[in-house]
Each structure stands twice: as structure tokens, then as C-alpha cells.
């Protein structure tokens, strides 16, 4: 069974093959209307369940469109509307869904839910975001970086702000794709130490720098994300904003990076909070290419999981 649960648990050669296939498939359908099928239909006859226990725009639409372009069918399920939200165990839900569908994508809260789904499903499971990680996003981001600037290996990536789930998957990717990563944010919001140690063990130079502008020095890519994630309590909003304000990505921070440095954000963004509109809409920003590349990267992830 080939699940796609995390970047650090997927072999580097497989990650590279997924990125390369995503690029090939994207190029093969360039310029076509979104609703037209691909030339080959690797998911013909396949049924895919897309389960959301949290809101989503990009993940929901890109998976749904991707499956259809590859000839498969989807059903989008809200966790709250399933028995899952009313006491049926994850294990039993996994066993039941495996009798109906060929692939399960789940966006959930706890890492344990994803792991239990994968353990008891007899079909592949894809992580569509948990409180701790967001691997599909980072596959799209690697694809985006490499389309614009070539291989990401050896480059300097700066993560500014909250050491959250998206940051964690970026750190995992540093170890697997061989780039360096500097985290800049307040100590209370540092990424998990074992994620950092894992990436270092993979050969990545992972650093922490409290001064955001020093951190940005010589960067090839600057990335940020919301200051309050879906799993964070709203009561923490004001405290987080106060702590994170020095880490806003703005013109002054971008000026310390290389002149051709890219800016990324997984979206949804809060304009003029974690990043200024000037940077989001500026010449270095590739945020909408990232959003588009969710589609192409995930199509390749689904093919990898199904072996088709
Ligand atoms: N970036 C991302 O996962 O967006 P959604 O929450 O809209 O799916
Ligand atoms: N860190 C954000 C990412 C949203 C795609 C969250 O978990 O809400």
C-alpha cells in the first residue's frame, strides 16, 4: 500500500519522480480548457473520497478537478456530516470506505486520525493537511520553485512567522530535496525540534534566526503563512499578532534577499498582516502559480499512490 502521509516518510527518489511527473503532465495539457480530460486517463474507473474536517478552497477544488481530468470520479465528504463526526471510529470508517472507493484524501485535525485511517484502510490514503503537516502543499511549492528557478537543491529558503504545519512540511522537504532552511519567528512558535533534527540528519542546514531581516539575507525564497491557523484558538489571535508582527514579509525584508528571490504563501492570505499586498502582488510573488500547481502536483501524487 502506497500512502502519501508526509514528505519525510516518502523516499526522496519517489518525491523527485512525483515532481517530474507533475511537470510533464502539466506541460502536456498546457492551454487546454480545465474541464477537458488528459490524453491518458490513468484514473478511469476509479472512485476517490475527499474528506474534509476543516474548511478548504484549494485542496477541495484541485483534488476534485485533478481526479476528473484523469478520468476518475470523486465524492466530497464533510467530516461533520459523516458518522465519523458522530462516534464511529476512524478504523471502522477506514474499513468501510475501502469497500467503496479506491483512494482516500483526508484533511483532519489530529495526526493520529490520519495515521489510523492509513493503518486500517485497504486503499491508499493522502494527507490533505493536519494540525502538524501539509505535504501536498509543499510538493506544489517545490514544483513552482523549480519551474521558475531550476533545481531547489542547495538554495536558501526562509520561513517567516509561525512554525506551523506548512512550515513543518517545508522543513521535511529541506532534508529530502537538499535545500537549506532558516526559520525566523518568535521562540514560542518554533517548529518541532525533532522535525529540525530530521532535516539536519538528511543533510540540510536548518537554522533559527530571531531577527527577520538578518534571516532574509541572501535568500532564494521567502515563505510565510497565516498567523492564526484553523486549529489555533481564536482567543490566541491578539497574542499571536503581537508576537508575529516583526516577522511580516514586506519590502524591507524582501530587499535583504537575493534580487531574484521568490515569495510564496500557501494561501489563504491575510493581506497586510503576515505579508503586505505590495509583496503579494509584486514581481517576486508566485502565489497563484503555487495555487495552480496544487492541481498538477496532486495528480502526480494520486498516480503514485495508485501505481498508475
Ligand atoms: N493552501 C491550502 O491548502 O488551501 P485550502 O485551505 O483552501 O485548501
Ligand atoms: N496553516 C494554515 C494552512 C492553511 C492551508 C492552517 O492550518 O490553517
Task: Find the farthest-apart pair of alpha carbons in the chain and give their distance in angstroms, rounded.
Answer: 55
Listed in order, strand segments (DSSP E) in the chain are: 47-52, 73-78, 103-107, 125-127, 156-160, 180-184, 206-208, 221-224, 262-265
Best residue for ligand 2 mutational test, from 57, 134, 138, 232 (most atoms within 8 Å of Cβ) = 134
Judge whether 32-131 and 136-290 match in fold.
yes
The verdict on whether 137 is a catalytic residue reads yes
0.95 exceeded by the pTM?
yes
CA of 30 to the centre of ligand 1 (A): 23
The reply to whether ligand 1 has any atom less than 6 angstroms from the CB of 266 is yes
Selection from 226, 51, 29 nearest residue 125 by Cα? 51
Residue ranges for the chain with pLDDT beneath 70: none
The complex's ipTM? 0.99
The reply to whether ligand 1 has any atom less than 6 angstroms from the CB of 164 is no
Ligand approaching nearest to the C-alpha of 226: 2
How does pLDDT run across 249-271, given as a tens digit for each residue?
999 999 999 999 999 999 999 99
Ligand approaching nearest to the C-alpha of 55: 1
Selection from 178, 261, 180, 256 nearest residue 221 by Cα? 261
Where are the chain's structural domains?
Answer: 32-131, 136-290
Q: Which architecture characterizes domain 136-290 according to CATH?
A: 3-Layer(aba) Sandwich (3.40)
Q: Tell me what pLDDT residue 85 has.
A: 76
Residues with CB under 6 A from ligand 2: 164-166, 225-226, 229-230, 266
Q: Tell me what pLDDT residue 86 has.
A: 85
Q: Per the annotation, does 57 bind a ligand?
A: yes
How does pLDDT run across 81-98, given as a tens digit for each residue?
898 878 899 999 999 999
The verdict on whether 225 is a catalytic residue reads yes
Contacts of 15 (CB under 8 A, 6+ apart): 7, 139, 142, 173, 176, 177
The verdict on whether 107 is a catalytic residue reads yes
Question: Strand 125-127 vs strand 103-107: parallel, antiparallel, or unpaired?
Answer: parallel
Candidates 3.40.50.1370, 3.40.50.2000, 3.30.230.80, 3.40.50.720; CATH matching 32-131: 3.40.50.1370
How does pLDDT run across 148-191, given as a tens digit for each residue?
999 999 999 999 999 999 999 999 999 999 999 999 999 999 99
CA of 264 to the centre of ligand 1 (A): 14
CA of 55 to the centre of ligand 1 (A): 8
φ, ψ for residue 61 (rounded to 5)?
Answer: -75, -40
Amino acid at each position: 500500500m502506497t500512502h502519501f502521509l508526509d514528505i519525510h516518510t516518502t523516499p526522496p527518489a519517489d518525491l523527485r519522480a512525483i515532481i517530474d511527473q507533475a511537470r510533464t503532465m502539466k506541460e502536456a495539457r498546457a492551454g487546454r480548457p480545465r474541464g477537458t480530460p488528459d490524453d491518458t486517463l490513468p484514473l478511469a474507473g476509479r472512485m476517490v473520497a475527499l474528506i474534509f474536517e476543516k474548511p478548504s478552497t484549494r485542496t477541495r477544488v484541485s483534488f476534485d478537478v485533478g481526479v476528473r481530468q484523469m478520468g476518475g470520479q470523486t465524492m466530497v465528504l464533510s467530516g461533520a456530516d459523516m458518522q465519523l463526526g458522530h462516534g464511529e471510529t476512524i478504523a471502522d470508517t477506514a474499513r468501510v470506505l475501502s469497500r467503496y472507493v479506491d483512494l482516500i484524501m483526508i484533511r483532519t485535525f489530529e495526526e493520529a486520525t490520519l495515521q489510523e485511517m492509513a493503518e486500517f484502510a485497504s486503499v491508499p490514503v493522502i494527507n490533505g493537511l493536519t494540525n502538524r503537516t501539509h505535504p501536498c502543499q509543499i510538493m506544489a511549492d517545490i514544483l513552482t520553485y523549480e519551474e521558475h528557478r531550476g533545481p531547489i537543491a542547495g538554495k536558501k529558503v526562509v520561513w517567516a512567522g509561525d512554525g506551523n504545519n506548512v512550515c513543518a512540511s517545508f522543513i521535511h522537504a529541506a532534508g529530502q530535496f537538499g535545500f537549506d532552511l532558516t526559520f525566523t519567528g518568535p521562540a514560542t512558535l518554533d517548529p518541532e525540534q525533532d522535525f529540525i533534527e530530521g532535516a539536519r540528519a538528511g543533510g540540510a542546514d536548518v537554522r533559527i534566526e530571531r531577527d527577520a531581516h538578518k534571516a532574509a539575507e541572501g535568500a532564494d525564497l521567502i515563505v510565510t503563512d497565516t498567523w492564526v491557523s484553523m486549529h489555533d484558538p481564536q482567543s490566541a489571535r491578539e497574542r499571536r499578532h503581537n508576537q508575529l508582527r516583526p516577522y511580516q514579509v514586506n519590502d524591507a525584508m524582501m530587499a535583504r534577499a537575493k534580487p531574484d528571490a521568490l515569495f510564496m504563501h500557501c494561501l489563504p492570505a491575510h493581506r497586510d498582516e503576515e505579508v503586505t499586498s505590495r509583496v503579494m502582488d509584486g514581481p517576486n510573488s508566485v502565489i497563484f502559480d503555487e495555487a495552480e500547481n496544487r492541481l498538477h502536483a496532486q495528480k502526480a501524487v494520486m498516480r503514485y499512490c495508485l501505481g498508475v
